Chain A
Amino acid sequence: MFRVTRRYTFAASHRLHSSQLPDEENRRIYGKCNNPYGHGHNYFLEVTARGPADETTGIAAPLAALDSLVRREVLLPFDHRNLNTDSDAFHEAVPTTENLAVEIARRLKRNWRSAFPGEWPILEKIRIEETTRNIFEIKADEIE
């Protein structure tokens, strides 16, 4: 059994602000991330697929299929976007990287079988670096 991990990058802006909290409270909780004009990051995303290697090809996760899935579900919708305004997922939910990780994991899990029609590989986990210091990881079986 192998775990194959592919690393991608996208650049996006966001503002951390909850409409359910007063402005003062937002400023207190999110600090400079609450700046009304937003700010941006170079995110790095690692997607890990788990499965056995095909005996003929020596491949556990066909990279062309993985790349095209991630391009369609993550890079096209999020790269060079404003997460708050350009993504339906964050009109209500705050685009913290926790919530972004959940959203990306959901998107990949929902569309996984269209990219990989067989039993293997499965989506094991994703990991997002918001900056080199802030890193978020979620296993696919943690989400519905």
Chain B
Amino acid sequence: MIITRKIEFSASHVCRSPLLSDQQNLELYGPAANPNGHGHNYVVEVSLAGDPDPVTGMVLDLKDLKELLNREIVAPYDHRFLNYEAAPFDKIVPTAENLAREIWRRLEPQLRGPRGRLHSVRLYETADLFVDYSGEQPCSE
């Protein structure tokens, strides 16, 4: 069974790589390369895979999951400028891909319970763009 909890945070970012020229950054990232930054209402769907506990009927207590997501995602990112305030985005570009992977890395070690394990992270940058990340194993299904 897959269970999913959704959270939101609002943050600003700039997508530009110091290794690329201004022109290359503009071609690659488009308007997201604006040096002064811009923002999104990010939506994150965190999915766990597991079997419900026969006694409680739960894969994981969603209150606990909510607290974990608040601590690991909302607290460090909400109403922040990611490039300046949220490591490692001072060193890597805060693209939707890198954000999804960073969220996976923060959550995965803490979601290895006997019944529920982290299955995937879906990060919506806008309603029209989202990224799914499930760790580094090959994702053929």
How many residues from B make CB contacts under 8 Å with A?
28
Task: Determine if A59 and B97 form an interchain contact, defined as CB atoms under 8 angstroms apart.
Answer: yes
Residues of B41-94 whose CB lies within 8 A of A = 92-94
Complex interface residues of chain A between 25 and 42 (CB less than 8 A to chain B) = none
User: What is the number of contacts between chain A and chain B, taking CB atoms within 8 Å?
Assistant: 63
- Contact status B133-A58, CB under 8 Å: no
Taking CB atoms, residues of chain B closer than 8 Å to A60 are: 97, 131
| Contact assessment for B131 and A58 in the assembled complex, using a CB-CB cutoff below 8 Å | no
Contacts A53-B98, A58-B95 given; does A3 touch B17 at CB 8 Å: no
- Interface SS of chain A: helix, strand, loop or mixed? mixed
Q: Which residues of B contact A3 (CB under 8 A)?
A: 131-133, 139
Quick one: given A56-B20, A64-B27, A64-B28, are A2 and B136 in contact (CB under 8 Å)? Answer: no
Given contacts A7-B129, A57-B20, contact A1 B28 (CB under 8 A): no
Cα–Cα, bound, A57→B27 (Å): 12
Determine the chain B residues whose CB is within 8 A of the CB of A62 once the complex forms.
28
Most buried by B among A6, A58, A64: A58
Query: Is B127 in the interface zone, CB < 8 Å from A?
Result: yes
Interface bracket on A: 10 to 19
Tell yes or no: B100 within 8 A of A by CB: yes
- Asked whether any CB of chain A lies closer than 8 Å to the CB of B96, the reply is yes
Query: Shortest distance in angstroms between A6's beta carbon and chain B's nearest beta carbon?
Result: 6
Tell yes or no: B101 within 8 A of A by CB. yes
| Contact of B1 with A by CB under 8 A | no
B27 touching A58, Cβ below 8 Å: no
Chain B min CB distance to A45 (Å): 11
A-B contact pairs, 12 of them (CB 8 A): A1-B136, A1-B139, A2-B132, A3-B133, A4-B129, A5-B132, A6-B128, A6-B129, A7-B129, A50-B139, A53-B98, A56-B20
Q: Which residues of B contact A (CB under 8 A)?
A: 15, 17, 19-20, 27-28, 30, 92-98, 100-101, 127-134, 136-139
Could you list which residues of chain A lie within 8 angstroms of chain B, going by C-beta atoms?
1-8, 50, 53, 56-60, 62-64
